[in-house]
Amino acid sequence: MDDATPLIKRAQGARDRAQRLVDVSTALTPVHRRTLSACLVTRTALADRGGPISEARCRDLTKLSNLVGRDIAIEQAKAAIAERYDITRGEAFQLLRYMSQTSNRKLRDVAHAVLEDGTRMPA
């Protein structure tokens, strides 16, 4: 039982840190969210410039996307479209946005549709 106590304390500490991160990210003011969103756009542009995006870069973009409050599916759909059509993630986002506007659907709904139907783009 004594061997389990340090593990329990470490697990509780990890849960507490995770909760603090969630609290901080949800407490961000709109100004901070806009700043983080600009960072996400810049980070995506820099990743596009470097050729294929590594797993580490993809994880960083997803984490930053979570902080901004974007749906992870949007990042995944951008990556899928970019890979499928050999375009940059920025161009893939423009394509997603265009599809969202022309179909009068939310961007996240279009992103989910892209991920669900991997063979073709949604109408």
Span 73-118, pLDDT tens digits = 888 888 888 888 888 888 888 899 899 999 999 888 899 899 888 6
> How many angstroms separate the CA atoms of 10 and 32, rounded?
31
Per-residue pLDDT of 21-50, as tens digits, reads 777 766 666 666 667 666 666 666 666 666
What pLDDT does 119 receive? 45
> How many angstroms separate the CA atoms of 7 and 16, rounded?
14
Q: The pTM is what?
A: 0.49
